[in-house]
Structure 1
Amino acid sequence: MKKIFSVFIIFFLVVNLRAQSWFTYTNSNTNGKLPDTNVECLAVDANGVVWIGTYFNGLVKFDGTNWTNYNTSNSPLKDKTIIDVAVDKQNNVWVANYANGVFRYNPSTNTWTQFTKESGALTNNYTYAIEVDNQGNVWVGLTPSSYNDPGVLRYNGNSWAQGNVFKDNFNSYGAEAIGVDKSGNVWCGTRIGLYKYDGTSWTYFSKENTLGGLGGNYIRTIAGDASGNVWVGTTDYVNFQTVGGGLSKFNGSTWTIYKSSTHPIDDFVSAIAFRNNDVWIGTGFCGQIGNYKGIYVFNGTTFTSYQSTSTFPGNCVNDIVVDKNANVYIGSAFGLTKYGTIVSVEKEDLLPTEFAITAFPNPFNPSTTIEYEIAKSGSYSLKIFNSIGEEIETLFSGELNAGFYKKHFDASKLASGIYYCRLTGSNINVSTKLVLIK
C-alpha cells in the first residue's frame, strides 16, 4: 500500500507541473538569474527561446530551464537599457539599445554586430522599436535627427533603406511601435497617428479621419492577427492630461473601438498578442501614475480580466508574446509572468509565496477551472457561494501542503448570475468572482 501511495504522489506531482498555470519569475525566485524584474520587451525565437529586454540589466535568454544574461560587462552592449527586441527569419536577435543604435546577435556563432549613425547604417542612434516583416526585412523606428530624416528604416539583410519613400512621412516623429499584418503591410505608430506602408505608398490614419475608430493619436502597440485584422492600442490627450485611447481593430475597411465606456476593458492598452482564437491585451502606462487593470483576454465576444491580486504581481504590462506551444509570457515592471505549462522551474520556485485564487474561463458556461495557490501547509476549504452569500457547493475541505492546486466547477444545474469561490483557512480568506452566462 505504501508503494502504491508513493507512485500516486509522483504522478500527482508530474500532472501538477504540467498544468496550465500562472507563474511569475523574479530576481529572488530565480536566485538572480533574471537579473532585473523590470521587463521592458519580449521576443520568442524559432526554438521557443524567450528573449527578455530589461530596463536596468541588459538582455536575458530563457530556454525554459536556463537563464543567460548579456550586459555591458560580458557583451558588446553599450547600455543596460533594452528598449525593444525582435527575432528575424535567420533566428538572429535584434536589440534596440537605448541611445546606442541597434545590435544584431547570432546565437549560433555568438557574434554581435552593431548598427549606428556613425557606421552609416542609421540616421539617429535613439531607437524605439524593431519589427520583422513577412519578407524578412528588419524595420527600426528611431528619432529623426531633423524634419527631413526618416522615422523608420528598413534593413534587407545587406543594406539600410534611407530613400525618399521613408522621408517626410511622420512629420519629424519617429515610429515608436511597428506591426505587420497578414498581407505584409507594415504599420508604424507615432505620437501623431498611425501609418500603413503597402510596399509603395503610405496611408495615414488618425483619431480624426477614422471618426474615432482610433481612440487616440499616440500609438502604443500594433499587432496583426491570422484573420488579417490589425489591432492597435492608443493613448490620447484631453485637457493636457494623458488618457487611455482604448483598443482599436481594423478589418481592412472598418474600424471598431473597445473602450471602458462601452466594454469591460481598461483604456490604457500597452501590449497585444494572440493565443489560439483569443486576443491577449496588456494594459498600463508604466512609469506613469495610473490605476491599471493587468491583463484582458478577449474571445471576440467576452473580455476576461486577470489582475495582480490573483495572478501576477503587477498590473502595468509592458509586453506580451506567445511561443509555439501556446505559452503566454508577460513582461511587467514586476518580473516575467508565464501562463501555460510549468515544467522546468526548480522545486523551490514552484512554491507560492502568497494565497491566490483564479478561474478560467470566466465568464463561463457551464463549467470552469478554479486554480488556487496555498502558501503554507494547513487545513483549508474551497466553497462556492451565490450573490447573497448562500453556500452552493464545497469543492474541497481538508489538509493541503503548500503548492498549486485546481478544481473543476460544473454549474450546469445553476442559473446565470454572479457567484463567488472562496478559499478559507487559518487566518486567510480570499475569493474570486465567477460570472455564469447561459
Structure 2
Amino acid sequence: MLSYKQLVIPLLFFFFCGILSSQTNTWIHFDSSNSGLPSNTIRLVSQDPDGVYWIGTWDSGLVKFDGKNWTVYNKENSPLPHNCVYSIAFNNGNILIGTMGGGLAIFDGNSSWKIYNEKNSNIPQDWIYSVAVDKKQRIWIGTFSDGIGILENDQWINYNKTNSILTDNKVTYILIDKYDNKILATQGELAFIIDDVWKSEKDFNIDSLDYVAYWISEMHDGKKIISYKYKGIVLFDGKNFTVLKGPNSNDGIEGFYSAVEDYKKKIWAGSFGQGIVVYENEKSEIWNKSNSPVKDDFIFNIFVDSRNNKWISTYFGGISIYNEDGVDIK
C-alpha cells in the first residue's frame, strides 16, 4: 500500500505544474476551426462594461463572447443590416454597431434592434468608419465619404466640408476623450470640437503632418496616439507631434491601422502587412509570424481589455490574444 507521503508528493507535483502551466500560457488563438468565430477576418474586438466581448467581423457579422459561449448575429439570423461590422461602441446597455454599407444598428444585447440608414433617416451615409458616444449621450459617427453625423433625440445633425472646417469628408475615426473633447481623423488634417466649437490644427498653432490618420486612442496621461497610414505612430500632447521610431526607423513599416497603450504603458501598434510594433520607453521591437505566435501579419486592430490582455484582430488569421502575465478571459 502506498504511504501518505508517496501519495501527497506526486499530487503536489502535478498541482504546482498545473499552476505553472496556467501562469505561462501567454498566448491564446481563436479562429473558425477552434471557436465560435464564423470567419477568420476580424475587424475589431471590444469589451462592454459587463466584461462581455463583442467582435466585429469583416464579412460574417457580429459575435458575442462571454469567455465561454459564442453567439453570432448576422443578416440571416438577426436584423443586423450588414455583415461587415467596422466599429463598435456602448451606451446605456446598448451595443452600437457601425457597418460598412448598412448604416448604424443599436442592439440591446437581447432582442431589440433599431436601425438607422439612408432610407429611413437623415444619417449622412450607410458606410460608417467610426462610432463614439459623448457625455451628453449623443452618438457620433464618422463616414466613408460624407463627413460626420451626430444622433441626438432621434434626430441627425450632419457636418461635412460644406458646413464645417473639415478638410475632407472621409472621417476615419472619432475619439472622444475624458474631457468630452472630440478629435476627428481624416484623410488630411485633424479636426477638433472643443465645448461644441469647431477648431482646426491652425487654431492650435499645430504644425500639421497632413497625412491619412486611421485611428486615435488616449493614453493614461492624456496624450493621444495617432496611427497614420504613412507617417507611422505619432504621440500628440495637444500642441506637438512626436513620431515614434521603431527598429531601424520602423523598417519602412507603413499602414498602421491601430495603436493602443496597455496597463504597463507599452504601446502596441498593428500594421497592415508587417505585424506588430511594440514600444516601451525608448525601445521597440517587431512581432510577426516569423518570430512570434501571432497568426497573421495583417493587423486590423489591437484592443487591450480590462485584464491587460491584448486582442489582436487579423485579416487572415482570426484573433491572437497575448498577455505576458498569462491570458485570462474568464
Instruction: Report the TM-score range of the alignment, normalised by the length of the smaller protein.
Output: 0.7 to 0.9
- Secondary structure, aligned partner of 1:202: strand
Residue type of the alignment partner of 1:312: V
- Aligned counterpart, 2:280: 299
Unpaired runs of 5+ residues, structure 1, are 146-150, 236-243, 346-438
- Aligned counterpart, 1:199: 195
Task: Normalising by structure 1, report the TM-score.
Answer: 0.66
- Give the direction of change, closer, same or farther, for the CA distance of 1:297–1:156 in structure 2 (3 Å limit): farther
Report the Cα offset of residue 171 of structure 1. 4.2
Report the Cα offset of residue 319 of structure 1. 0.9
Count of aligned pairs: 318
- Aligned counterpart, 1:314: 296
1:178 and 2:174 are equivalent in the alignment = yes
- Give the direction of change, closer, same or farther, for the CA distance of 1:101–1:187 in structure 2 (3 Å limit): same
Report the Cα offset of residue 59 of structure 1. 0.5
Contact 1:180 1:223 in 2 (8 A): no
| Structure ranking higher in strand proportion | 1
Contact 1:123 1:144 in 2 (8 A): no
Report the Cα offset of residue 78 of structure 1. 2.5
Of residues 100, 103, 119, the one that matches 2:102 is 100
Residue type of the alignment partner of 2:295: P
Contact 1:272 1:279 in 2 (8 A): no
- Aligned counterpart, 1:130: 131
Report the Cα offset of residue 182 of structure 1. 3.3
Map of 1:140-151 to 2, 5 A cutoff?
140-144=141-145, 151=147
Runs of 4+ in 1 over 6 A off after TM superposition: 163-166
Of residues 259, 269, 276, the one that matches 1:272 is 259
1:112 and 2:113 are equivalent in the alignment = yes
Unpaired runs of 5+ residues, structure 2, are 1-5
Of residues 54, 57, 62, the one that matches 1:54 is 57
- Give the direction of change, closer, same or farther, for the CA distance of 1:325–1:261 in structure 2 (3 Å limit): closer
Contact 2:64 2:70 in 1 (8 A): yes
Task: Normalising by structure 2, report the TM-score.
Answer: 0.86
Residue type of the alignment partner of 2:218: G
Map of 1:24-423 to 2, 5 A cutoff?
24-30=29-35, 33-88=36-91, 90-107=92-109, 109-144=110-145, 151-156=147-152, 158-162=154-158, 167-171=163-167, 173-205=169-201, 210-211=206-207, 214=209, 216-235=210-229, 244-259=230-245, 263-264=249-250, 266-285=253-272, 290=273, 292=274, 294-309=275-290, 310-333=292-315, 334-340=317-323, 341-343=326-328
- Give the direction of change, closer, same or farther, for the CA distance of 1:181–1:262 in structure 2 (3 Å limit): farther
Residue type of the alignment partner of 1:186: K
Contact 2:98 2:105 in 1 (8 A): yes
Alignment partners' CA distance in 1, 2:67 and 2:189? 38
Contact 1:153 1:166 in 2 (8 A): no
Query: 1:394-424, CA deviations, whole angstroms, 9 ceiling, x for partnerless residues?
Result: xxxxxxxxxxxxxxxxxxxxxxxxxxxxxxx
- Aligned counterpart, 1:402: none
Larger radius of gyration: 1
- Secondary structure, aligned partner of 1:84: strand
RMSD: 2.7
- Give the direction of change, closer, same or farther, for the CA distance of 1:163–1:57 in structure 2 (3 Å limit): closer
Alignment partners' CA distance in 2, 1:253 and 1:169? 19
Contact 2:296 2:314 in 1 (8 A): yes
- Secondary structure, aligned partner of 1:313: coil
Contact 1:182 1:225 in 2 (8 A): no
Contact 2:129 2:171 in 1 (8 A): yes
- Give the direction of change, closer, same or farther, for the CA distance of 1:300–1:283 in structure 2 (3 Å limit): same
Alignment partners' CA distance in 2, 1:296 and 1:200? 35
Contact 1:26 1:336 in 2 (8 A): yes
